[in-house]
A = this chain, B = another copy of it.
Amino acid sequence: MEQGRFKEMLREKGLKVTRQRMAVLETMAAHPGEHLTAEDIYEMTRQKYPEIGLATIYRTVQVLVELRVIDRVSFDDGFVRYELGGGEVCRHHHHHAICEDCGAVISFEDDLLEQLEQAVQDAIGFCVTDHEVKLYGYCRSCAEKRKADSE
């Protein structure tokens, strides 16, 4: 994500371009594919911008979610997490497979959901704009470990 486009988006919404907002964007852009908590983002951003406050992080991620620059995800471990989104064009973000043993999160792409969305739209008149899929189970190495243990 280029900074220029981001500044534009802020102005379009009547929001101000601040050093803090740019710094948080930079942190997110530097960690694509990672699932960061507010605290993570705080610590990372603080390295380049020590005066920033945690409340600002919370307020800024809200803005970034509304602008669809980042996605909010939750893996039910008590933390809300954020990750860089697919960008404003591609509303087709990826899904997550979560290992119940080691907690690893594997992201994957999928196009199968379009059929499901159409079916739901037809069946209950629900207009789908976004979706989220989580698969739970065991990652390759934990699955092998479990198999070995059970023998």
Within 8 A of B (CB), among A55-89: 72, 74, 76
Partner of A129, one of B72, B138, B140: B138
- Copies of this chain present in the complex amount to 2
Roughly how many angstroms separate A110 CA and B135 CA in the complex, as a whole number? 15
- Name which residue of chain B comes closest to A143, CB basis: B127
Interface string of A90-129 (1 = CB under 8 A from B): 0000000101100000101010110111011001111111
Query: Any chain B CB within 8 A of the CB of A151?
Result: no
Are B143 and A125 closer than 8 Å at their CB atoms? yes
Specify the chain B residue showing the minimal Cβ separation from A110: B116
Contact A108:B134 (CB < 8 A) given known A74-B74, A76-B72, A76-B74 = no
Q: Is A2 positioned at the interface, with any CB of B under 8 Å from its CB?
A: no
Q: Interface size for chain A: under 10, 10 to 19, 20 to 34, or 35 or more residues? A: 35 or more
In the bound complex, do residue A129 and residue B136 qualify as a contact, i.e. CB atoms below 8 Å apart? Answer: yes
A32 contacts partner chain B, Cβ-Cβ < 8 Å: no
Supposing A100-B129, A132-B133 touch, asked if A112 and B115 sit within 8 A by C-beta, the answer is yes
Is A12 among interface residues, defined by CB-CB distance under 8 A? no
